[in-house]
Structure 1
Amino acid sequence: MSADETPHVSILVVAYHSTAFIRQCVDGIAAAAVATPHEILMIDNGGGDTEALVRAELPQVRIVPSEGNIGFGAGNNRCAAHARAPFLLLVNPDAVPQPGAIDRLVAFARSTPDAAAWGGRSYDPSGKLDAANFLALPTPADFVLSVVSAGRLRRGGLPEDATQHGAVDVLNGGFMMVRADVWREIGGFDESFFLYSEEVDLFKRIRDKGYTVLVDPGVKVMHDAGSGDALSAGRIMFMTIGRMHYARKHYSSIGAVVAGWGIWAAALKYAVFGKVLAGLAPTKRERFAALSQAWTPIVRERQRWWYGYRTGNEGR
């Protein structure tokens, strides 16, 4: 794309110590948007290592000035403020859009202009569908029911075997496209969410405006969720704080308490069962032990997450 050509889609990337992933991500974007004029904007929320690599090796990426570790939502908001296209496509640095995926997604958006946002399907490196494809806008009851339903919140999204596009509640935050005018209308991400559940909050506000959100299951992206460390204790803590922050924002005081105890009980189940199963299944001992270790702090340190993000960076 020439310097004076208006991009059809602005691709926003928030990096955090992403040197191991960013080259593959940018190469994937190029192969996914062969026919679509685009720009890539990146902000480094880490210590500057990813920005240094990008400046040296990936001149096609526009650098948005770093403000330190300001959070995923705030980082995307900064990138969006510099974007020139009518569509904003958020891509995690550990995600790789598959060939033609962005071309197909932009064409899909143009064929359904009344919608506000569009997404595809993400897969882990083994080819398994990412659970984030199936998020629903949660209710307090969902957090309680998650205690007896494999710890998952109620599943939304399209059926796993869907071949046609359809409406969903929430798009996978690692790969999602939003109309720039709708983004501006709702004010982008709520920056009080430091990490996790900010996309659920975003789509709650989009849906409250009466807009439709669509998924084309033929648009595919490979996403190494958690940058290869999906069961890290830090990731689970942030995820839990984010969920509770959403509950505190959108539910009544009673609803938030119900959600909080549902979260705690589900964590207890994982912590206990993981420890027990690690002793009973030697071939899977390492994974079950990691599961228990990741969720034990949620059980023991309830005050760290019970009130959500009180200053925007608890648990950092």
Structure 2
Amino acid sequence: MNGLAVIIVNYRTPDLSIACIAALEEARRAFPGLRVVAVDGGSGDGSAARIAEAIATNGWSEWVTPLPLEVNGGFAFANNQAIALLAEGGEMPEAIALINPDARVRPGALEAMADLLDREPRAGAVGALLTHEDGRPQSSAFRFPSIRGEFCRGARTRAIERLLRVPPTSIQAAQAVEVPWVTGAAVMLRTAALRQTGLFDDGFFLYFEETDLMRRLRRAGWAVWHEPAARVVHAGGAATQIRDPGTGLPHAKRMPRYWYESHRRYFALAGGSGAAIAAGLAFFAGHAIWRARRLVSPRLNGGAHRSARDLLAYGWWPSRRDVTPSAPPLGPARHVAPSWMDAP
């Protein structure tokens, strides 16, 4: 592979980010020109200074560049700014790996992902297998959201899933396999693919941005792969605490507004306003079935708290902005703020 860069986006988890950088030192043997961009997404808690100090103190300045941002623009925006910084240097690396600060790369993980990109010339992205500290696997590869899937998510009834032949969202595999999309917590992207499709859509604040990117990669003819040989220890949503790292599904606690807004935007970009509305209606129809079941069995688990009310308030009726793509081209142009911060 002709060059690799790694991007780590921190938000108020400086200790994890520093540990994440330290875990990459061994990979420099396999990738002598490895570059790391350590982004701070407007944490405002001293994180940026602590990360910069650690870089200087540990002698990492030769290969790690801190990039403090003024605003918390979200995962998509922060990664885009780091990629633009890499582009300012002229020649881009062949691949860019995104590693969450709450993830720790095991020896050989980056090499396994790079090897897959070398073997599969049409692979635009390859995701690692996330694991717990004890080696137990976490959900790392997934099927795309669908309207039928939203109906089943609302109904939470296995019999309906079997009747509609809706497979599990998470994909488990013992060896490398092509999949619809992989987690953005540990993924390697081919730069040539990003040149064709553009970067992350910064109309997303958090969640669904990697799903959207991989949808666009596949639409452009690139493949997305999951490589279980690449193992990355993952603390699981240290900054947000939204998803269960074992299943990849939302925790039962109430989801934040931005989750619903990103969910709505994903469906709107993938299929237009009608798809976003249909996905919301499908969830409500399924939820009505679950409510009826709960009248009979009050102890049934209802999933995320107030999910139906919050979806009704934030997540089913798309705005004009939702159907407007906002993925910048790969290049050196950096931006002050993401498009989701623009006035309506």
TM range (shorter): 0.7 to 0.9
Unaligned runs of 5+ residues in structure 1 are 1-5, 279-287
1:21 aligns to what SS in structure 2?
A: helix
Taking a change above 3 Å as real, the CA distance of residues 94 and 7 of structure 1, as seen in their structure-2 partners, is farther
Whether contact under 8 Å (1:119, 1:172) holds in the other structure is yes
Tell me the residue number matched to 1:117: 125
Tell me the residue number matched to 1:25: 20
Whether contact under 8 Å (2:106, 2:233) holds in the other structure is yes
2:233 aligns to what SS in structure 1?
A: strand
Does residue 80 (structure 1) correspond to residue 88 (structure 2)? The answer is no
Unaligned runs of 5+ residues in structure 2 are 87-91, 243-250, 322-338
Whether contact under 8 Å (2:193, 2:222) holds in the other structure is no
Tell me the CA shift for residue 43 of structure 1: 1.7
Whether contact under 8 Å (1:135, 1:154) holds in the other structure is no
Counterpart of 1:168 (choices 162, 173, 179) is: 179
Whether contact under 8 Å (2:257, 2:310) holds in the other structure is no
1:187 and 1:303 mapped to 2: Cα distance?
31
Q: Which moved more, 1:102-111 or 1:212-221?
A: 102-111
Counterpart of 1:199 (choices 195, 210, 222) is: 210
Does residue 145 (structure 1) correspond to residue 142 (structure 2)? The answer is no
CA displacement, residues 140-165 of structure 1 (integer Å, 9 cap, x when unaligned): 222112234579985466534x2x21
Tell me the CA shift for residue 13 of structure 1: 1.3
Query: What residue identity is the alignment partner of 2:142?
Result: L
Query: What residue identity is the alignment partner of 1:312?
Result: W
Tell me the CA shift for residue 240 of structure 1: 2.7
Whether contact under 8 Å (1:33, 1:100) holds in the other structure is no
What TM-score, normalized by structure 1, do the two folds share? 0.79
Does residue 302 (structure 1) correspond to residue 312 (structure 2)? The answer is yes
Query: What residue identity is the alignment partner of 1:295?
Result: H
Tell me the residue number matched to 1:106: 114
Tell me the CA shift for residue 111 of structure 1: 2.3
Taking a change above 3 Å as real, the CA distance of residues 33 and 242 of structure 1, as seen in their structure-2 partners, is farther
Whether contact under 8 Å (2:143, 2:181) holds in the other structure is yes
1:109 and 1:16 mapped to 2: Cα distance?
29
Counterpart of 1:135 (choices 111, 126, 142) is: 142
CA displacement, residues 63-107 of structure 1 (integer Å, 9 cap, x when unaligned): 124131111101100001122411010111111111221122222
Q: Which has the higher helix share?
A: 1
Tell me the residue number matched to 2:340: 312
1:136 and 1:127 mapped to 2: Cα distance?
23
Query: What residue identity is the alignment partner of 2:172?
Result: P
Structure with more relative contact order (C-alpha pairs < 8 Å, separation 6 or more): 2
Whether contact under 8 Å (1:25, 1:95) holds in the other structure is yes
2:14 aligns to what SS in structure 1?
A: coil
2:17 and 2:178 mapped to 1: Cα distance?
31
Tell me the CA shift for residue 226 of structure 1: 1.5
CA displacement, residues 157-201 of structure 1 (integer Å, 9 cap, x when unaligned): 6534x2x21111101111111111211221100111111001111
1:177 and 1:226 mapped to 2: Cα distance?
19
Q: How does 1:1-316 map to 2 (within 5 A)?
A: 8-37=3-32, 38-45=34-41, 46-47=43-44, 49-59=46-56, 60=60, 61-83=64-86, 84-125=92-133, 127-131=135-139, 133-149=140-156, 154-155=167-168, 158-160=171-173, 162=174, 164-227=175-238, 229-230=241-242, 231=251, 236-264=256-284, 277=299, 294-296=304-306, 299-300=309-310, 302-307=312-317, 312=340
1:236 and 1:189 mapped to 2: Cα distance?
21
Whether contact under 8 Å (1:236, 1:295) holds in the other structure is no
